[in-house]
Structure 1
Amino acid sequence: MSSRPRRLLAVLFVALSALTAGCGALGEEPEAAASGSPILRIGLPTGVTSFANADILVAQQKGFLADYGVAVQVENFRSGVSVVEAVTEGELDVGAASIEPVVNAVASGGDLAIIGAYSDRLAVSAVTPKDVLTPADLRGRPVGVQEVGAFREVMTRLVLQQGGLTPNDVQYVPVDAQSYTAALVDGRIQSAILQTEQAVAASHAYPNLHVLANLADIVPNYHYGTFFVSRSWLEEHRDAANRLLAALTKAHRFMYANKAETVSIVADATGFDDSIISESYDILLTQRQIFPLNTGIDTNRISATVDSMSQLGILEGSAPPIERLVDTGPASDAIKQLGSVSGARR
């Protein structure tokens, strides 16, 4: 447990509390109930776990994985592109990544399938020096990206598009995911796509920086994060996929109903102070509600996102049919076990 000050008020959503009743206590060993079960190798798309990817850690620390007989080994990767490569090569069982590299892998003939969502709504912002007042002001300036086609580069294109710009109008500078703020501060770059907690921390620490645009405002119907597997793996391990998604959905519901414990777990995972994560919680869960309470798979939104990729020129090949891209079975089966949250759209 972190030694950070605990001055947070718990937020209690009565309906969701009923759904998470009977959960394991913090600190239980979640693998204990999963003894004898194969360990699922899961890859996350950032070097340090982000708030948006913290559901797996909540599921682990609260014992939800153990409740469903699931054991996991979590590994952090440089980007979603790297996670896709690892799943494709059989180094991982389950990948977590933004949707773009998954779509491109399937469009190129890969046998991957999206089975769930960690956060189906965008949780990132474009952060710039305060003298950048509009996206058009980025013309000719250096902007930070990881890899072309990876999530942050795609989000950068969407921001540039708001100013009538293309990548040819700026200078791409490769930056590691955990070095964006430092690169902004020392002037190497003039724009970076940051996770919400990174943006909150940067704005507090460096008054010369500000949020230029929230991507959720630019593309509100864009599908963000996916859990995906190879179809060959899914054919042999569908029950494990169902149980994993049940545990993760239970974690989402717990997170909405238990702010203080969620903040504690996420702060430890991300390395940010509780106050930063508390403010980020209010943005991500209270305001934007980024974590799905039911399946998190809206095939219409996913199709619209693929169309956006095509318009941006980042779709590698023809758009794959939705039935090739998505397998809704595991998420649907998980909700059958848990029961759906009435009134929740996803």
Structure 2
Amino acid sequence: MKEFHVHTTSRRTFLAFTGLSALAAAGCGTASGSGVRNTGKLRYQGWAGQVTPAELAAELGYLEDVKLDWVGNTISGPQDIQSAASGQIDFGGAFNGAIVKLASRDAPVRAVISYYGSDEAAYSGYYVTEDSPVRTPRDLIGRKVGMNTLGAHSEAMLDIYLREHGLSRAEAQKVERIVVPPVNTEQTLRRGQIDVAVLGGILRDKALETGGVRKLFSDFDLRGAFSAGTYVLTERFIRQNPETVRTFVTGVGRALDWSRATPRDEVVARMTEVVRRRKRNESTDALRYWRSYGVSAPGGRIDERELSVWSDWLTERGDIERGSVDLKKLWTNEFNGGAGAARKG
């Protein structure tokens, strides 16, 4: 999901500090815990002021008897999937490049369904002030680009933009990438503390309403419509709970399809009702700007190219070793009843 400022709970803080310390344990079965059990509850982290595809699936009744157990909020996809990998939550979602990078460290995770992406309505734009001298990719050399996190979606798109417009690796490295909290990004740009701001969703639309900014490029401009992030579960959880996973994945896919086929106002009204009913002391303002989840494939099914492009990018950067990730084992459509023929990773 696009990342907004949120109020987090002590549980989320605990998850963030725990990180990857329990990854090895999460991947190991035990004599007493290796059998099929098909839990009826899935622990997860949410995003304040938003309704995730999983939450929408639950609202629509598509998860059947599987219940979601909210343990707190996050503003970080990499943190979310690390928590899933270490077994502190049951599923998490992040940019596909972050999933590839996590897998390169032998995290026992598997991607099961796409849950966000970019299209004409849902995209991340790279904005400068109206009077900025930055107008071409080469103008970015020596400039600062503010984004929510490094090594993820925003930085990947920046690298692709620079490369496709002829900048060498050495020149691209002279474009400074700065981490800025999403809620502060627009003001940081207007104050001249950064030269380019990566904005999406409500933050993008509010900045455009205020005026005085112009788009340099967007991820949709670069790649067209594409699915960008997936939900992951551990291999152990999948092995122990295959029917739960099937119900969950198929339900999320149905919710994604429903959100595309239903008039936007109706989707927003349903989401607003969800946020108000759950009473988490959060604003519904962001929902007024919701346009799309951006997932391009019917049922949220995964295409291996959505992972391989980031594997190549991470390898080129030297972030992972070539061949360190077996992509065919990293993803599966096997549990997606709405994705047509099964595809085992």
Please name the residue that 1:255 is paired with: 259
Q: Which residues of 2 match residues 1-346 of structure 1 at below 5 A?
A: 38-43=40-45, 48=48, 54-65=52-63, 67-73=64-70, 75-121=72-118, 123-130=123-130, 131=132, 132-163=134-165, 164=167, 166-205=171-210, 207-220=211-224, 223-258=227-262, 259-266=264-271, 271-272=284-285, 276-277=289-290, 281=291, 284=292, 290-315=295-320, 318-331=323-336, 334-335=337-338
**What CA deviation, in whole Å up to 9, does each residue of 1:65-100 have, x standing for no partner?**
3x3533342643232221122112211110111111
**Per the alignment, do residues 75 and 220 of structure 1 end up closer, same or farther by CA in structure 2, a change over 3 Å counting?**
farther
**Distance (whole Å) between structure 2 residues aligned to residue 291 and residue 256 of structure 1:** 10
**Distance (whole Å) between structure 2 residues aligned to residue 275 and residue 85 of structure 1:** 31
**Distance (whole Å) between structure 2 residues aligned to residue 187 and residue 265 of structure 1:** 39
**Per the alignment, do residues 265 and 125 of structure 1 end up closer, same or farther by CA in structure 2, a change over 3 Å counting?**
farther
Please name the residue that 2:6 is paired with: none
Structure number with higher helix proportion: 1
Which range moved further: 101-110 or 139-148?
139-148
Q: Secondary structure at the match of 1:297?
A: coil
**What CA deviation, in whole Å up to 9, does each residue of 1:105-129 have, x standing for no partner?**
1122111111111125463221222
Fraction of identical pairs, as percent: 18
Q: Structure 1 unaligned segments of length 5 or more: list them.
A: 1-35, 341-346
Which amino acid is the alignment partner of residue 224 of structure 1?
A: A
Work out the number of aligned pairs and report it: 287
Displacement of 1:231 in angstroms is 0.7
**Per the alignment, do residues 74 and 241 of structure 1 end up closer, same or farther by CA in structure 2, a change over 3 Å counting?**
farther
**Per the alignment, do residues 121 and 147 of structure 1 end up closer, same or farther by CA in structure 2, a change over 3 Å counting?**
closer
**Distance (whole Å) between structure 1 residues aligned to residue 271 and residue 221 of structure 2:** 24
**Per the alignment, do residues 224 and 271 of structure 1 end up closer, same or farther by CA in structure 2, a change over 3 Å counting?**
same
Q: Secondary structure at the match of 2:116?
A: coil
Structure 1 contact 157–312 (Cα < 8 Å) conserved: no
**Distance (whole Å) between structure 1 residues aligned to residue 71 and residue 172 of structure 2:** 34
**Distance (whole Å) between structure 2 residues aligned to residue 212 and residue 74 of structure 1:** 38
Q: Secondary structure at the match of 2:194?
A: coil
Q: Secondary structure at the match of 1:188?
A: coil
Structure 1 contact 221–305 (Cα < 8 Å) conserved: no
Which amino acid is the alignment partner of residue 86 of structure 1?
A: S
Structure 2 contact 162–172 (Cα < 8 Å) conserved: yes
Q: Secondary structure at the match of 1:119?
A: strand
Please name the residue that 1:6 is paired with: none
**What CA deviation, in whole Å up to 9, does each residue of 1:298-343 have, x standing for no partner?**
1244323422433354445535222221132212xx227xx79xxx
Structure 2 contact 114–295 (Cα < 8 Å) conserved: no
Q: Secondary structure at the match of 2:150?
A: coil
Please name the residue that 1:21 is paired with: none
Which amino acid is the alignment partner of residue 176 of structure 1?
A: P
**Cα RMSD for the two superposed structures:** 3.0
Structure 2 contact 97–307 (Cα < 8 Å) conserved: no
Q: TM-score, normalised by structure 1?
A: 0.72
Q: Secondary structure at the match of 1:169?
A: coil
**Distance (whole Å) between structure 2 residues aligned to residue 295 and residue 273 of structure 1:** 23
Which amino acid is the alignment partner of residue 86 of structure 2?
A: E
